[in-house]
């Protein structure tokens, strides 16, 4: 049985797993992503040792890492967008510690691989979009992963939406999808939207926004509908570019609130393709990183 040790380095959580070549997670560990960039590599090393405990880490042929942030494959480094845009070397320290090859890839590219190969979707043209702390995406066209140097996430969440609010995105740009629909930006958008409507709404975080929606607060429900309209527009724009047969939605903001968001997104989307929730929960990037490792072993 082939196994791989895989890491999903997200903006909020850092997940690790030992995965076999059938896509079964044999062991999994989760911790918060360190806010100090210098602690990220050491935390990954600790998680790798934890998921490999009671088995020889060297039995796992390679290490696969998916991450939310731009990647420099040549340097083996990643730009940690959640801790002050800090670039760290990642591949070299892990190779030194474990004497294994290290494969780096964007988390959304990994996730779309996981959806394609490990949730057994039949679509040859597949689009994966995560609505989470940020917004990112990955695509498979004619059965092959579409790749670029930094990953599709740099394009999907940062496409201009043409909205009157023209809000500043966490990346520093303006009027990006991520400036409206992401977990980090939605509370800021709520303030701007409420002002434009003449509403008095207290400052709410992302959890309080959706709790108010679940409690049927009429103004918050109106706001969520606006967010869903923007999400639908973003999906339509990406779908027009990649022409998928299926759009798979994931990410913590979406998964925790899909009963509210999914019907509205489907209502406002003009694309004819199927829009479905992930079958893999938050495991898509982990399983996709494993699929990428096994593919490189063959």
Q: CATH class for domain 122-278?
A: alpha beta
- Please give the pLDDT value at position 150: 55
Question: What burial letters (b/e) apply to 95-133, b meaning 16+ CB within 10 Å?
Answer: eebbebebbbbbbbbbbbbbbbbbeebebebbbbbbbbb
Question: Max alpha carbon distance in the chain (Å)?
Answer: 62
- Please give the pLDDT value at position 297: 66
The topology (CATH level 3) of 3-105 is Nucleotidyltransferase; domain 5 (3.30.420)
Q: Where in the chain is the domain with CATH 3.30.420.40?
A: 3-105, 122-278
The answer to whether residues 8 and 284 touch, using CB atoms and an 8 Å cutoff, is: no
pLDDT exceeds cutoff 70 at 59: no
Give the closest residue to 212 by CA, choosing from 197, 202, 226. 202
Rounded CA-CA distance 193/187 in Å is 10
Give the closest residue to 12 by CA, choosing from 29, 28, 33, 35. 33
- Distance of alpha carbon 208 from the chain centroid: 22
- Please give the pLDDT value at position 18: 93
pLDDT tens for each residue of 211-243: 999 999 999 999 999 999 999 999 999 999 999
- Please give the pLDDT value at position 35: 85
- Please give the pLDDT value at position 53: 79
Give the closest residue to 8 by CA, choosing from 109, 150, 84, 86. 109
- Please give the pLDDT value at position 117: 82
Element (H, E) at 89: strand 86-89
Rounded CA-CA distance 263/40 in Å is 38
pLDDT category of residue 81 using cuts at 50, 70 and 90: low
């Amino acid at each position: 049985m082939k196994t791989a040790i895989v890491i999903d380095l997200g903006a909020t959580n850092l997940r690790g797993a030992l995965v076999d070549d059938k896509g079964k997670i044999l062991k999994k560990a989760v911790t918060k992503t360190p806010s100090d960039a210098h602690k990220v590599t050491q935390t990954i090393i600790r998680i790798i040792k934890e998921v490999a405990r009671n088995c020889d880490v060297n039995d796992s042929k390679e290490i696969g890492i998916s991450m939310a942030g731009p990647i420099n494959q040549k340097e083996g480094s990643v730009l940690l967008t959640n801790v002050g845009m800090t670039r760290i070397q990642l591949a070299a320290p892990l190779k030194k510690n474990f004497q294994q090859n290290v494969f780096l890839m964007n988390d959304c590219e990994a996730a779309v691989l996981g959806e394609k190969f490990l949730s057994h979707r039949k679509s040859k043209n597949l689009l994966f979009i995560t609505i989470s702390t940020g917004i990112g995406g990955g695509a498979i066209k004619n059965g092959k992963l579409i790749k670029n140097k930094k990953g599709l996430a740099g394009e999907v969440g940062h496409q201009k939406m043409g909205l009157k609010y023209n809000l500043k995105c966490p990346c520093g740009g303006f009027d990006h999808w991520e400036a409206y629909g992401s977990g980090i930006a939605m509370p800021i958008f709520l303030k701007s939207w409420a002002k434009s409507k003449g509403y008095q709404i207290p400052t709410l975080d992302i959890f309080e926004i959706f709790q108010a929606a679940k409690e049927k607060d009429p103004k918050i429900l109106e706001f969520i509908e606006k967010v869903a309209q923007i999400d639908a527009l973003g999906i339509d724009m990406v779908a027009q570019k990649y022409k998928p047969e299926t759009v798979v939605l994931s990410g913590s903001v979406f998964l925790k609130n899909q009963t509210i968001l999914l019907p509205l997104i489907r209502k406002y989307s003009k694309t004819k393709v199927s829009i479905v929730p992930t079958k893999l929960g938050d495991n898509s990037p982990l399983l996709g990183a494993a699929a990428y490792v096994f593919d490189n072993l063959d």
